A and B are shown apart, each in its own frame.
Chain A
Amino acid sequence: MSDRSDLKSSFNRAINGRVEELERIARDILDHPESGFREVRTAKLVADWFSENGLALQTGVAKTGVVGTYDTGRPGPHIAVMGELDSLIVPGHYHADPDSGAAHACGHHAQIGAMLTVATGLLDESVKKGLSGRVSFMATPAEEYIELEYRESLRENGELEFFGGKQEFIRLGHFDDVDIAMLTHTGSETVGTFGVGGSNNGMIGKTVQYIGKAAHAGGSPHLGVNALNAAQIGLAAIHAQRETFRDADTVRVHPIITRGGDAVNSVPADVRIETYVRASNVPAILGASEKIDRALRAGALATGATVRIQTAPGYLPARYDLRLVDLYRHNAASLIGDDNIIELHHGTGCTDVGDVSQIVSTIQPTANATSGNGHGVDYLVEDYELAVIKAGKAMGLTVIDLLVESGAKGAQIADSFNAPMTVTEYITRMRGFRSDTTFKD
């Protein structure tokens, strides 16, 4: 066992020498936010770092994704350590791009720092010598499920099929031989702690178009068919479904109107809505989705408008491997003490880490190092040492546990993991979520 603790000491020491560099990279990304499938600068920054540090490099994976491969040269488990490249769009955020409104209001910039921290430690020669297997450092695009019209245009161009970066990674085969995956997200629950366990909702996305008939809103409103009224009835009808959602299913439906009419003196004839339908499990997502469609159709029926509902696959619910959680908890505690490890509850947000978790043994702990509201203008990483350095160390120490002794622990967890679905089944299932229906009475 002294071998293992020596490896861990070497790992930590290697990182301690490069703290400033690693934190600087995270802050650099914070200052140059790019939203999903547009992370050109961020990707280049990661790719350059991988090259400079001797990792085998793949770029342009799922448009902007980057993979750096760390190979011990010995057979063993294949671990994916992930970090997300994309920002949100939150105009008014302290670090928002003034032109695009893009902003790291979800802390992904720290994830990249943490991922590079893991690589920094593992690349230490004395560490590498003691491990077996491979680690793929995956900088994944587009975790935030936003800008659906843009992504739809990419889909139509054949540049992607699914709207989440990790989903595309799965589709493109990057998880085919991965055994275990991990990513540390920032969190603000109890600052100074790591959160472990938990689970996340899954979701599907909908883009809705009401087509009415334009007419002069003052002169001849009786000749128009008001698509905005149709949409409002549809939205009100969605709210009328809420009492039927079960607590255990943690359903979330939260539409926005992305186009609400073109001129105030014309009866709106083209109104668009985007919404998610989230829930803790797939049957609940599908059940709620059916009710939402019904409600949306009612808006069309009431006004004589036409409604087109396009449903796109979103993310699957996330379930984390408790054996991996235990291993991680132990390593995280070695850095900040048992008292500073908290158990996460079910999260009603969604992540494409959920998709990964349906295929391989996965954890997504949180580094609780931020202030403000997630996705809000005031969400800021306050403690970079925790969010980048210690988060990276906790993951890396776990990787060491998985890959030492010929990767025995990693193999044991991977072999006994009861995957809900294979990659092929995953792709079939995701494609099955897609639908495009038009309703007019």
Chain B
Amino acid sequence: MTSAENTELNALAQRSIDGATRHLISAAKTVYGTPETGFNEHKTSNYVLEQLRGIGLSVETGIARTGMKAVLHGSSPGPTVAVIAELDALRVPGHPGANAETGAAHACGHHAQIGSLLGVAMALNTPEIKKSLSGNVAFIITPAEEFIDIGERLTLKASGAIEFLSGKQEMIRLGTFDDVDMAMMVHTSATNGDSAFSIGGTSTAHVSHQVRYLGKSAHAGGAPDQGVNALQAAMIANLAINTQRETFREADVVRVHGIISSGGTSVNAIPSDVLYEGRVRARMVEAISTVAERVIRCYRAGALALGTAVEVQTIAGYHPLRQDPSMQEVFARNVERIIGPDSITIVPDDRTTGGSTDMGDLSMILPLIHPYVNSASGVGHGNDYLIEDYNRAVIAPAKVMATTIIELLGGGAGTAREALDKYKPTMTADQYVAAQREQFTIETYEPQQSH
């Protein structure tokens, strides 16, 4: 492919997306108006299915409950590039877009990803562009990126509906990515920066704990001496965890945070069954195990202090994000080309956001990029996180991803092949699945009473 052809195809892709601007933004807003939490995104999934079919793609549905995959084939064989979008909302009651019943709200901007993905699909499905591609483009709609509702997901796990607790983890396990060679997804951001896009850096890995304290109920007024207070045990544990913070090294970017997801049933009874949902994040998996050991010690201390039993269930979480430098370079070049000079900030590889994503898990087995588009206001996961500029959040990423793919797969997919040659996976999909499975453990601690 000559650069003149490239320019022409890029212009065509942009025109296609520009022509669909109102539709794409409206699709994103429709998803925003139907917030659903992970593995429950039935309405959202159905809506996206209609849209993909409308574009003319054939869609595999019901992957990991609500996930989908649609593959667009180029004119000749070559690598498969996945464009990913996440279906799920967070749970942030009080967010302007929150569902009154469930509290689900798109406080992380996933709805914009859906709009962008549809834009890329429309543009690349243009016959002239499709013809130029050597390889395939897989549009993968993933459930449950937010690692929340642990109790609910453990129930799904127990019923066999899922094994891992996030969408991409499940999709890796189910082989959805087996025929995918590289992937990309653009996430919204509210970071105050001058440029429209940023790329690079990493995220934290994490592990979750479902901690259950079992005490003994008794009338809280009449016979508190007969009870064993499970809530006090959880609170002592939380206090103890806080005292560990001075031992966390900044370089490890440790984050430890928990919620009491069930803290007693009635105020006049001594709480006897209390659930604490804990999370340990760190830059590297190794630091997580050191910190998790300390945190688990604290859970047990709560039990020892009050004489409760405690069950600590460890739940495999996310891996740190590893972005592919070759793909990053192509993407950055396309941002400058399509949006304008100085439109992208390159973040150093070792810069870590405190957050975590299952794109990290995917990045262990294939090359990918996870750029951000600066288009929101408020605090991520806060009740004020809103997409301010839908043109930038939906349309700009669609254009840049489309032209990035044209560059990757055009001209016989030389650019994609070059990137793939340089990439060495951290592990295979099989190794990944085995490592995740190994992390699921349940430990019960019942302190011995001296009398």
Contact = CB atoms under 8 A, between A and B. Distances in A.
Contact of B301 (A226, A243, A245, A298): A298
Given A221-B246, A232-B243, A303-B240, A290 B450 contact: yes
Interface string A259-300: 000000001000000000000000000000011011101110
Given A290-B451, A293-B450, A294-B305, A302 B247 contact: no
A301 B239 contact: no
Nearest to A222: B247
A66 to B, nearest CB: 42
A233 B240 contact: yes
27 contacts: A217-B246, A222-B247, A222-B248, A226-B247, A229-B246, A233-B236, A237-B301, A240-B232, A240-B233, A240-B305, A240-B306, A243-B227, A243-B270, A244-B225, A245-B225, A246-B225, A267-B246, A290-B450, A290-B451, A294-B304, A294-B447, A295-B305, A297-B305, A298-B236, A298-B304, A302-B237, A302-B301
Nearest to B293: A304
B224 A236 contact: no
Ranked 3 nearest A-B pairs via Cβ? A298-B305, A302-B301, A302-B240
Contacts of A298: 236, 240, 301-302, 304-305
Given A243-B270, A298-B240, A301-B301, 7 more contacts: A222-B246, A240-B236, A243-B232, A245-B225, A290-B450, A302-B297, A303-B244
Interface class of chain B by DSSP: helix
A388 to B, nearest CB: 44
A302 B307 contact: no
Interface of A: 217, 221-222, 224, 226, 229, 232-233, 236-237, 240-241, 243-246, 267, 290-291, 293-295, 297-299, 301-304, 441
A240 B234 CA distance: 11
Nearest to B306: A240
A409 to B, nearest CB: 42
Contacts of A290: 449-451
Nearest to B237: A302
Given A298-B236, A301-B300, A237 B450 contact: no
Given A224-B247, A290-B450, A243 B224 contact: yes
B240 A297 contact: no
A244 B447 contact: no
Residue from A291, A295, A302 whose CB has the most chain B CB atoms within 10 Å: A302
B388 to A, nearest CB: 41
A304 B239 CA distance: 15
Contacts of A304: 294, 297
Nearest to A296: B305
Q: For chain B, which range describes its interface: under 10, 10 to 19, 20 to 34, or 35 or more residues?
A: 20 to 34
A95 B282 CA distance: 59
Interface in B202-254: 220, 224-225, 227, 229, 232-233, 235-237, 239-240, 243-244, 246-249
A291 B294 CA distance: 24
Interface string B364-380: 00000000000000000
Residue from A217, A232, A294 whose CB has the most chain B CB atoms within 10 Å: A294
Contacts of A303: 240, 243-244, 297
A303 B301 CA distance: 9
A290 B239 CA distance: 22
Contacts of A237: 236, 301, 305-306
A240 B303 CA distance: 12
A367 to B, nearest CB: 37
Interface in B252-275: 270
A233 B239 contact: yes
Nearest to A243: B224
A237 B308 CA distance: 13
A223 to B, nearest CB: 8
Contacts of B246: 217, 221-222, 226, 229, 267
Interface of B: 220, 224-225, 227, 229, 232-233, 235-237, 239-240, 243-244, 246-249, 270, 294, 297-298, 300-302, 304-307, 447, 449-451
Nearest to B239: A236
B75 to A, nearest CB: 57
B221 to A, nearest CB: 10
A297 B304 contact: yes
Residue from B249, B450, B451 whose CB has the most chain A CB atoms within 10 Å: B450
A381 B6 CA distance: 101
Nearest to B451: A290
Contacts of B235: 240
A294 B248 CA distance: 27
B64 to A, nearest CB: 38
B304 A301 contact: yes
Nearest to B242: A229
Given A236-B236, A237-B306, A302-B298, A243 B229 contact: yes
Nearest to B228: A244
A241 B235 CA distance: 12
Nearest to A240: B232
A291 B229 CA distance: 13
Contacts of B247: 221-222, 224, 226
B43 to A, nearest CB: 45
Residue from B298, B301, B302 whose CB has the most chain A CB atoms within 10 Å: B301
Nearest to B450: A290
Contacts of A301: 297, 300-301, 304
A110 B302 CA distance: 48
A8 to B, nearest CB: 50
A232 B237 CA distance: 12
Contacts of A267: 246
Contacts of B449: 290, 294
Nearest to B300: A301
Nearest to B445: A301
Nearest to B290: A222
Contacts of A236: 236, 239
A245 B229 CA distance: 13
A322 to B, nearest CB: 29
Contacts of B239: 233, 236
Residue from B237, B306, B451 whose CB has the most chain A CB atoms within 10 Å: B306
A441 B225 contact: no
Nearest to A225: B247
B237 to A, nearest CB: 8
B130 to A, nearest CB: 55
Contacts of B304: 294, 297-298, 301
A314 B306 CA distance: 25
Nearest to B240: A302
Contacts of B233: 240
Contact of B229 (A226, A232, A233, A240): A240
B285 to A, nearest CB: 17
A144 to B, nearest CB: 30
Given A290-B451, A294-B447, A302 B229 contact: no
A108 B59 CA distance: 92
A206 to B, nearest CB: 14
A224 B244 CA distance: 10
Residue from A291, A297, A301 whose CB has the most chain B CB atoms within 10 Å: A301
A302 B243 contact: yes
Contacts of B298: 302
Nearest to B248: A222
A245 B226 CA distance: 10
Contacts of A222: 246-249
B307 A294 contact: yes
A238 to B, nearest CB: 9
A429 B152 CA distance: 55
A297 B450 CA distance: 12
A212 B378 CA distance: 43
A217 B246 CA distance: 8
B297 A441 contact: yes
Contacts of B447: 294
